[in-house]
Amino acid sequence: MITVKPSFVIETPIDGEFIIRHIEKCAKTCYKTEHIIGGFENAKMFVKNLIKRQHHSTLEHISISVRIICDRGVAGELVRHRIASFSQESTRYCNYVKKGIQIIHPSNLTKQQKIRREDHFWTVQDLYDLEIAEGIKPEIARGVLPLALKTEIVVSANLREWRHMFDLRVTGTTGKPHPQIKEIMEKILHEFRERIPVIFD
Ligand SMILES: Cc1cc2nc3c(=O)[nH]c(=O)nc-3n(C[C@H](O)[C@H](O)[C@H](O)COP(=O)(O)OP(=O)(O)OC[C@H]3O[C@@H](n4cnc5c(N)ncnc54)[C@H](O)[C@@H]3O)c2cc1C
């Protein structure tokens, strides 16, 4: 049993200028003005106005995939976003005997609270190992694993859906987001904002 930190990797190469230009080109089809292409500042203003007028479907022309390391609890919240697509580490097919289970602690636990949890997770590991040794398959033995189990999940979504996910999971438009999903999504939002400020400001 080891502990790991939540993290993420943006799997799709992000070229901010290409993204703005692409959305501009697609959206200008609506007005048959796609041949009128000006400077990048004009393109940014055009896309800003699309967002202001809630012409949000135009943001669906670009998708980004992000690989996220989080616990199973956070992943369970991520997969509620039906417009996105997911590929997730499977507790049916992965066997956690050899490498041992990996655990994610919430960042606000005290050292003592972490140690207390780790004692428990060692017991979980022993039980898991015992069941596998008895011939029980990983897909059944997984029943003893905790929500704190580390998982890896690739989330692919168009820019409209990413905005929606940030709205719910960082801004908290519909209620206070869970602190652990907020923590990781905030970092992803920061990265998106750096690269495509017009869309994620
Ligand atoms: C703070 C918070 C607390 C929560 N608590 C709970 C809880 O206690 N229990 C629980 O079960 N869930 C809970 N959820 C999950 C929540 O109910 C949603 O399932 C989740 O946030 C996904 O939101 P969504 O449906 O807007 O987004 P997505 O699934 O990402 O969809 C994006 C948008 O597409 C549209 N859309 C998608 N699918 C359809 C459809 N079938 N029909 C029509 N329009 C559609 C909607 O406009 C939707 O907003 C919570 C979420 C938050 C943020």
Closest-CA residue to 11 (of 89, 75, 94, 86): 86
Q: 11-37: buried (b, 16+ CB within 10 Å) or exposed (e) per residue?
A: eeeeebeebbbbbbebbbeeeeeeeee
Pocket test for ligand 1, best of 78, 81, 167, 182 (most atoms within 8 A of CB): 81
User: How far does CA 38 lie from the centroid of its chain?
Assistant: 34
Strand partners of residue 103: 3, 149
Read off the pLDDT of residues 110-145 as tens digits, 9 standing for 90 and up: 999 999 999 999 999 999 999 999 999 999 999 999
- Ligand 1 closest atom vs CA 168: 53
Query: What is the DSSP annotation of 71-139?
Result: EHHHHHHHTT-TTSEEEE--TTT---SSS--EE---TT--HHHHHHHHHHHHHHHHHHHHHHHTT--HH
Is the CB of 97 within 6 Å of ligand 1? no
Q: What pLDDT, on the 0 to 100 scale, is given for residue 160?
A: 98
Would you tell me how many other CB atoms lie within 10 Å of the CB of residue 86? 14
User: How far does CA 197 lie from the centroid of its chain?
Assistant: 19
In the reported structure, the alpha carbon of residue 173 is separated from the centroid of ligand 1 by a whole-number distance in angstroms of 12
Read off the pLDDT of residues 64-112 as tens digits, 9 standing for 90 and up: 999 999 999 999 999 999 999 999 999 999 999 999 999 999 999 999 9
Q: What pLDDT, on the 0 to 100 scale, is given for residue 37?
A: 86
Annotated catalytic sites, by residue? 169
In the reported structure, the alpha carbon of residue 114 is separated from the centroid of ligand 1 by a whole-number distance in angstroms of 32
Q: What pLDDT, on the 0 to 100 scale, is given for residue 34?
A: 85
Please state, in angstroms and as integers, the Cα–Cα distance from residue 64 to each residue in 34, 93, 117, 167, following that order.
24, 27, 35, 17
Residue 80 burial (10 A CB sphere; 0-12, 13-18, 19+)? exposed
In the reported structure, the alpha carbon of residue 172 is separated from the centroid of ligand 1 by a whole-number distance in angstroms of 12
**pTM of the entire structure?**
0.96
Q: What pLDDT, on the 0 to 100 scale, is given for residue 107?
A: 94
Read off the pLDDT of residues 9-52 as tens digits, 9 standing for 90 and up: 999 999 999 999 999 999 999 999 988 889 999 999 999 999 99
Asked if residues 27 and 55 have their Cβ atoms less than 8 Å apart, the reply is yes
Pocket test for ligand 1, best of 56, 60, 63, 168 (most atoms within 8 A of CB): 168
Q: What pLDDT, on the 0 to 100 scale, is given for residue 35?
A: 85
Q: What pLDDT, on the 0 to 100 scale, is given for residue 36?
A: 87
Q: What pLDDT, on the 0 to 100 scale, is given for residue 169?
A: 98
Give me 113's structure tokens: 């609270």
Report which protein residue has its CA nearest ligand 1's atom 49: 164
Question: What is the C-alpha separation between 147 and 115, in angstroms, rounded?
Answer: 17
Pocket test for ligand 1, best of 54, 57, 83, 180 (most atoms within 8 A of CB): 83
Q: With 90 as the cut, is the pLDDT of residue 61 above it?
A: yes
In the reported structure, the alpha carbon of residue 200 is separated from the centroid of ligand 1 by a whole-number distance in angstroms of 20
Identify the three-state secondary structure at position 5.
Answer: coil
Mean pLDDT computed over 150-179: 98
Is the CB of 177 within 6 Å of ligand 1? yes
Is the CB of 158 within 6 Å of ligand 1? no
